[in-house]
Amino acid sequence: MTTLSEQNQVINFLDLPREILLRITSFLDFHSAVSFSTTCQAIQPIAETRVWREIHIKQNDILGIPNDSLKIPNNSKRESQIQQDGIGEDQEQEENKNLPISISDTQNGICSMRSEAVLLHLNHLLNKKKWRKIYVKSFKIELRLKIPFQLLNILKNLLNLKELKIKFPNIMIDLLQFEKFPNPQIDLIEILKNLSLEEKPLYNLENLNITILKDWKFIIKLITNCFPNLKNLNINGKFLHIRNSISTNYFYNYNNKNLLIKPLINLKSLSIEEMNSTFGSTLEKLINTSKLEILNLKDETMLWFPKENDLFLNKISKLKKLKKLKLSSNCFSNLCELNGWNNLEELTMIWSRNMIHSKDHNDIIIPPLPNLRKYYIEISPYSSSYNPYQNKPNSPSMLSTLLYQLPNSLLNSPKLHTIYCSSQTLFPNEGELQEEVIEWNNDNFQGIIIYSYINENGEELIHCRSKNHYNNEDRLKQWMGNSSSWEEHIYYKSKPLSIRVLAGMYGISGMTITNTSPGRGLYMDKKGWDLLKTWERQDESWY
């Protein structure tokens, strides 16, 4: 029996179990969590689980001013200005004294120094309260090519870090401006080298997104030794500025002969921004795993030419859990000829414009894969043709070729239900591997969706809907087709069927495909099949 004093007892907020307090804090946005952490000292450690969970330092945060506010003088522009204004040589020499003479006077130099200062201050804040370093799960930072060595002091203490992303938003411009400053990425190698020497490397790191500018193979070795439990690895960097040959022996002084590539046994997703033939042997050792589900080997420049019996492709074709794959059309024959790919559900193929335009109706575009469900066709923005949008005389559109091949191709791909056709060839942003996919129920979708029905005799009725979307650009119509809305295509026993027959089958069965997801082997009522048999007997009394 409870006493009166017990009934009137007030429960303090801090008397709640820690698990409940953490649950409450998890629903707060960042600014609310910061305010909540300042209420009292007892609340601060709990509220800061939300405050320090993710650290994201953007380039504008480092500069503190818009990127365009800092300009590097351009000599060619300056010369033209001299000619226009009639500035004399003596006056020009006098004004040249104000031009930047060291890296500290350039925009990249200022950003490099400020990023060092920002990271130094961040390290101070992390060390100010002992729990903060434990709370950090995600660390993302945008830099201007130069990676501050101060980053090492932060990373080696974030033992619970799950995600690390180091991004260079303006990498191509920065490389041009850093030409006179050797070894622009020496700090990255130093950081990885020192992390690998730690007694406890970042074993908990699961997601890594990093840009490699040079010494590709050596950095891959360091990554596998520093982060052995990675689940998602995203490697950015264009081959034009990646160098596999070592430009200096400095990097190899670190036990290079004994440094081996360790298989990432927990790896589930691997993305390479620009694949090359020289990467195959390295990646073959890296993905020695049965857990890999997503493999993105992007090759828009078509620089990867695998051999007929390429060992790397042969190995990944045997991966049992591989669900999603992205390749260039240079690998198309390997997809068709290699035994394997049994569990591959989504395939993205990057085609060159020239190769697509050279195809005729008899050339295969859809690979025969037994478990393929979604097929994404992208067009590379790089082409050797003078006019990238101009077809060869009388060459068929990509969509018409797909539709022509579809009845036979679907026999070899019994689960394929959606084909996505890229409408434009936009150059991707540097370091961004994930593109937004326009799904079939979006107004901007273009491609083919497939509904199929199988009767008791195993005969398949295929209903295909094709759609194109234009922005009033005739040049896109040249290679994609002539329609801007859904077109219906019906096949039965690999032969075209009248749309009126299918409409009657849907009507008598009480079916509709409006807002119905595409799929193969769908159910149709017996009345619909009986109507089809009536049509086959040429009895058209049902019209």
Mean pLDDT value of segment 206-229: 88
Query: Within a 10 A sphere around the Cβ of 306, how many other Cβ atoms?
Result: 20
Least confident of 383-397, 473-487, 503-517: 383-397
Taking residue 140's Cβ as centre, other Cβ atoms within 10 Å add up to 15
C-alpha distance across the termini of the chain, in Å: 83
pLDDT digits (tens, 9 = 90+) for 436-469: 678 888 888 889 999 999 998 888 999 999 987 6
For the chain, the domains span: 9-47, 54-262
Under the banding of pLDDT at 50, 70 and 90, the label for residue 240 is low
DSSP states along 109-162: HHHHHHHHHHHHHHHHHHHHSTTHHHH--EEEEE-SSPPPTHHHHHHTT-TT--
Nearest to 95 by CA among 81, 110, 109: 81
Residue 114 has pLDDT above 50, yes or no: yes
Mean of pLDDT over the chain? 76
Count of beta carbons in the 10 Å neighbourhood of residue 187? 19
Q: Which DSSP symbol is given to 391?
A: P
pLDDT at 225: 87
Q: Return the pLDDT at 140.
A: 93
What would the 3-class secondary structure string for 313-336 be?
HHHHCCCCCCCEEEEEHHHHHHHH
With beta carbons less than 8 A apart as the criterion, state whether 168 and 174 touch.
Answer: yes
pLDDT recorded at residue 387: 45
Tokens of 199: 């007694």
Question: Averaged over 226-254, what is the pLDDT?
Answer: 66
Give the pLDDT of residue 176: 63
pLDDT in tens, 279-330: 888 888 888 777 899 999 998 888 888 888 888 999 899 998 999 999 998 8
Q: Across residues 124-142, what is the average pLDDT?
A: 91
Counting residues of the chain whose pLDDT is more than 70, the rounded percentage is 71
What percent of the chain is modeled with pLDDT above 90?
24
Contact between residue 463 and residue 513 where contact means Cβ atoms under 8 Å apart: yes
* Model pLDDT, residue 13: 81
Please check the confidence at residue 2 and state whether its pLDDT lies above 70: no
- Compute the distance between CA of residue 254 and CA of residue 258 in angstroms, rounded to an integer: 9
Ranked by mean pLDDT, which of 76-80, 199-203, 423-427, 454-458 comes out on top? 454-458
Each residue of 83-107: pLDDT tens digit? 444 444 454 444 444 434 444 445 5
Q: Using DSSP, state whether 165 is helix, strand or coil.
A: strand
Of 341, 275, 518, which Cα lies nearest the Cα of 420? 518
Confidence of residue 256 (pLDDT cuts 50, 70, 90): low
DSSP collapsed to 3 states, 236-266: ECCHHHCCCCCCCCCHHHCCHHHCCCCCCCC
Confidence of residue 71 (pLDDT cuts 50, 70, 90): very low
